[in-house]
Amino acid sequence: MKLSRRWFAIAGLAVLLAGLDAAGATAQMASPPSDSAVPIATKNSGPAKLTQAYALPPDKLAKAIALSRIRNVLDITDSIWGVVVLWLLLVTRAAAALERWTQRTASRRWIQGLMFFALFLGITAMADLPLSLIGHHYSRAYGISVQGWGSWFGDLGKALGLEIAIGGPILLLLNWIVRRWPRRYWLGAWAATVPILVLSIFVEPFFEPIFDKYEPLQQDHPALVQELEKVAARTGTDIPPERMYLMKASLKTNGLNAYVAGIGSTKRIVVWDTTAGRIPDDEVLFIFGHESGHYVLHHIPKAIACYSVALFFVYWACAGFAAWMVRRFGKRWGAAEIPSRTGFVVLIFAVSLAGFLLEPASNAYSRHFEHQADVYGQEAIYGIVADPQKTAVAAFNALGEAWLDDPNPNPFIEFWLYNHPSTEHRAEFAMHYDPWKNGGHGEFFKN
């Protein structure tokens, strides 16, 4: 599970619109393609040790090491660049000029706000475009992505359209809260953020078909569905066959993945067509067990609760920091007060900076949940597959090889950037996890 860094500033103020890009609190076995179209890896690597649970053949190891350097540079640059863009909008008075233009163009304040935030989201998206282009280029060059440029730009346009259509009104709502309660606006914004976050997770499955094609998993893989039902019965996961889908990921990527999306009545499992039939069904069962763990262990409500508490203090602190910046730089930036549109950009800048600084803590929290789900998935397939240990290790090796994950991640990069444990650490744990030895039982299953 992960929270998109691009969304943290708007997340902080516009609610972590996670449902739009399958981020947010959605559980996923392998990190899905981000703006760079590849999962995060590491910067420095050495030759894989023969004793490692996860290792790559020499030709792919060389590619993984080279690609990891590119991924890290792009990811770190993107983190910093997102904050710098907001700062530039303020110091160049571009945000103030945009606010004045909308005031001259429209008479009604709410229309001015929609225009301002639509243009603001468009500008920040365009500023991020060069890094996205570089990331997709290397993803294609290394054989991760097979998506053509036309389709890629189409997805980019759809995402921007959704950001403007949904994110714009949400930013307008939060800006209104700031104007309505100027002294305690951070509390009102926090109260509005939490239900919108829950709603974004609930509606995520409705947006996914905008970007990818789906069909019932039963249609082409009935035997796999029967096996998945066994795991569902063991875990108590309420996902019937009619809510199991096959995503046509092969149209865009060679990577492997499966995930569970939605909550309540929208909860469903999605298996990529690059995964079903490409790796043994036993390994797909382990992936499904991992995904089920996020639900059975209540990771989504726990994450919502944790982030809600964190956002309470983040909003409070950022409100004070933004007020200081307006007093110190307001005249220079054209931000007379926080409730103004430009002043609101100052607030977004403060939250964006907080998001950057808190990324390691957020990722550490996510890694904890992912490790628990790994344990749960391995226990969930006990008695269903012949050897849970070998199955889990094989699944991690297949995922790592497909995404060209580095077998030897730099510890600092893993600490700062990884929202999942490294593939090597996951495979290493799986190889040695055998609670049933000498008649024992697992952590989450007593049989």
| Other CB atoms within 10 Å distance of the CB of residue 180 | 11
Reported pTM: 0.86
Residue count (the chain): 447
Degrees, nearest 5: CA angle 441-287-270: 140
Q: Encoding tokens for residue 303?
A: 């994450």
Query: What is the model's pLDDT at position 2?
Result: 35
The answer to whether 376 touches 293, Cβ cutoff 8 Å, is yes
Do residues 418 and 367 make contact, with C-beta atoms less than 8 angstroms apart? yes
- Residue 339, burial from CB neighbour count under 10 angstroms (0-12, 13-18, 19+): middle
Q: Three-state SS for 384?
A: coil
CA dist 166 and 163 (Å) reads: 5
- The half-sphere exposure of 284 on its side-chain side, counting CA atoms within 13 A, is 27
Do 37 and 415 touch, CB atoms closer than 8 A? no
> Minimal CA–CA distance to 83: which of 20, 33, 8, 24?
8
Query: CA 232: distance to chain centroid?
Result: 25
Pair type for strands 268-272 and 258-261: antiparallel
The position carrying tokens 């012949």 is: 386
pLDDT at residue 238, rounded to an integer: 78
Whether the CB-CB separation of 286 and 378 falls below 8 Å is answered with yes
Residues with Cβ within 8 Å of 339's Cβ and at least 6 positions away in sequence, in order, are 175, 178, 179, 182, 185
Query: Cα-atom radius of gyration of the chain, to the nearest Å?
Result: 23
pLDDT tens string, the chain, 447 residues long: the values are: 333 333 333 333 444 333 233 333 334 555 443 333 333 333 334 444 446 899 999 999 999 999 999 999 999 999 999 999 999 999 999 999 999 999 999 999 999 999 999 999 999 999 999 999 999 999 999 999 999 999 999 999 999 999 999 999 999 999 999 999 998 999 999 999 989 988 988 999 999 999 999 999 999 999 999 999 999 999 988 788 899 999 999 999 999 998 888 888 898 889 999 999 889 999 999 999 998 999 899 998 999 899 999 999 999 999 999 999 999 999 999 999 999 999 999 999 999 999 999 999 999 999 999 999 999 999 999 999 999 999 999 999 999 999 999 999 899 999 999 999 999 999 999 999 999 988 889 999 987
Residues 401 and 426: their CA atoms lie apart, in Å, by 14
**Amino acid 263: pLDDT:** 86
Q: Which two tokens stand for residue 251?
A: 């149209």
The helix (H) or strand (E) run that includes residue 139 is helix 109-141
**pLDDT score for 390:** 96
How do the domains of the chain map onto residue ranges?
Answer: 54-439
